[in-house]
Chain A
Amino acid sequence: MMAGSPRPHGLGLFYWRARTKMNPDQKRHLAATLCLMEKDLVQQERLLRSRGEKGVLYEVVDTLRDGQHQKILAQVTKLLKCIALVKDQFSLEVEQTNLQKMLVGELTMLSVWLQETKTKKLRGYGTVDEELQHRLDPLLEEMADQIGKTLKTLAGA
């Protein structure tokens, strides 16, 4: 197929493989942008299919009308197809990671975050009630212990 020929699948994107190469930084930027976009779209897709999400302290409430879900899902699919085409066109590399490494990163950040929530750190926002210290810190410590256990479990991977 010639450069600039329309691709026969109705999305209207042009089938054209880059002969002149982007420099590595430009390529990295494009790949990172589309990769983030894909992760976001996958997340939206998950929320749409589960019709919201309910946690202990947060809730994503499904306020969409019935027909809207299908329309948005179809749009998400179109966007994911576009991303796949751009990936092919510019020969973008797939970001590879393993589950262990990914979870260690997330949980380590969480562990730091919990330490920052202890009452001695909250003093920056004003005097901390002593009762709050007794009620909050032991439970934060317990959560940090659980995360520590999980990190040990992961280290055994």
Chain B
Amino acid sequence: MDFGDSHRRSITNALRYTEETLGTVEAALMSQGRLNVLHRIEDDLTPAQKEKICDCIHTIRSIIASLKDTLSLEVHAIPLSRVIAGAASALWVTLTETEPKRLTRYGPVPEEISTALGPDLERLIVQVHELQAIVAHR
């Protein structure tokens, strides 16, 4: 079916976002029992509820597939290396925003905290740089 590029882009983005959100929901349903460091998700759903949710996800995916064919929407392929490199860059930005000198926006930072946190953040940043280097080394 022939229609405008901006419409096509808008529909494709919305459906892609829908699919990615469904992926997040599915991953959350399946990741129970994982011990995370700073976030925990308490599983308060029954198996019957989970089954119904999975059925809905399946139905929505079929509708997206049908729309993809009807409207001739394109698949967006992205290399894993780019996903990881992008995430690493975002992590670097986030970490630098947490340096003790930046935390002063919330009030004075005690010297003792600066001395302890600064080197830890620096080490995390170094590890993120190493991650970027591994991905870049093809």
Q: Which residue of B lies closest to A76 (CB)?
A: B131
Chain A's closest residue to B94 (CB) is A33
Range, interface on chain B: 35 or more
**How many A residues touch B, CB cutoff 8 Å?**
97
B34 CB contacts on chain A under 8 angstroms: 42
Q: Mark B43-71, 1 if CB is under 8 A from A, else 0.
A: 11110010011001001110111111011
Cα distance, A86 to B100, chains bound together (Å): 14
Q: Are B66 and A139 in contact (CB under 8 A)?
A: yes
Asked whether, in the complex, the Cβ of B75 is within 8 Å of the Cβ of A59, the reply is yes
| Of A11, A18, A157, the contact of B45 (CB 8 Å cutoff) | A157
Query: What does DSSP make chain A's interface, helix, strand, loop or mixed?
Result: helix
Considering residues A82, A94, A99, which has the most beta carbons from chain B within 10 angstroms of its beta carbon? A99
Query: Contacts A37-B91, A113-B18 hold; do A128 and B7 have CB atoms under 8 A apart?
Result: yes
Q: Which residues of B contact A110 (CB under 8 A)?
A: 17-18, 21
Residues in A neighbouring B77, C-beta threshold 8 A: 58-59, 61
How far, in angstroms, from A99 to B29 measured CA to CA in the complex?
Answer: 8
> From residue 31 to 49 of chain A, which have CB atoms closer than 8 A to chain B?
31, 33-40, 42-44, 46-48
**Nearest B residue to A121 by beta-carbon distance?**
B10
Q: Are A40 and B90 in contact (CB under 8 A)?
A: yes
Which 6 A-B pairs rank lowest in CB-CB distance, beginning with the nearest?
Answer: A25-B106, A117-B14, A125-B6, A63-B79, A35-B38, A95-B39
